[in-house]
Structure 1
Amino acid sequence: MTRSLESTWCAFDGYIMRSLAESRVAGMLSCLGISYLYEHMPYNFHGYLPDFYLPALDAFIEVKGAEPTRGEIEKCERLHEETGCPVLLVHGRPDKFMHHDHLDGYARIEVSWQPRLLVAGRWGSISLNLICRAIYHLGGRIAGELFVSAVANSGATSTQPIGPYAVKFLHELSDKMGRRCRAIYDHNAPVNAAKISALPREPSLAERECMAFINKQSARRAAA
Structure 2
Amino acid sequence: MSSPSNTQRGQFITFEGIDGSGKSTQVRSLEARLSASGRTVLRTREPGGSPGAEDIRRLLVEGDPEKWSPETELLLFTAARRDHLEKTIEPALTKGEVVISDRFADSTRIYQGATRGDLRPMVDELHRLMIGREPDLTIIIDMDPQAALTRGLARGSGEDRFEDFGLPFQKALRDGFLKLAQEFPERCVIIDGNHPVETVEEAVWRAVSPRL
TM-score (norm 2): 0.31
Bigger radius of gyration among the two: 1
- Higher relative contact order (CA closer than 8 Å, sequence separation 6+): 2
TM-score (norm 1): 0.29
Identify, as 1 or 2, the structure richer in helix. Answer: 2
